[in-house]
Amino acid sequence: MNILERYESPDGHLTLLVTEEAGDITIGFDDYPWHTHADLLAAEYGLSESEAVRTFVDQILRGEAVIAILSIQGVMCEVWITTDPTGEIPDVESEEQITFRRWGGKVSDA
């Protein structure tokens, strides 16, 4: 896996990676399984893969995207981009907590 781009959030809690492996470009958070693929973004945005990746990454870095964080007993376990924060809440167990934030660290309710 080749790291093409690496961004650390201003508060140092998240690292966003753009990677390439065997021609497949993915975007996700370092140490967490969630990711998306350039071809899926291209289809969603109606852009070329490179333009879609740039658009998606820029939306995250500008704080336009909502980042969901699942913590269990205060430990971050999952991190992902969500388009429906209210749809994420009902699935948590009692020891789990989902919080929402923006790239810069600002807590977000959506």
pLDDT at 18: 98
78 and 70 Cβ atoms separated by less than 8 Å: yes
State pTM to two decimals. 0.89
Question: What are the backbone dihedrals phi and psi of residue 81, each rounded to the nearest 5 degrees, phi first?
Answer: -90, 135
Q: If you ran DSSP here, which 8-state letter would residue 76 be given?
A: E
Judge whether 107 lies within some domain.
no
37 and 88 in a single domain? The answer is no
pLDDT at 74: 86
54 and 89 in a single domain? The answer is no
pLDDT at 106: 87
53 and 92 in a single domain? The answer is no
Q: What is the pLDDT of residues 16-62, one digit of tens each?
A: 999 999 999 999 999 999 999 999 999 999 999 999 999 999 999 99
Judge whether 108 lies within some domain.
no
Indicate whether 90 pLDDT > 80: no
Dihedral of CA atoms 17, 22, 24, 30 in degrees, nearest 10, equals -20
Q: Which domain holds residue 88?
A: 66-101
Q: What's the mean per-residue pLDDT of the chain? A: 91
How many C-beta neighbours within 10 Å does residue 42 have? 19
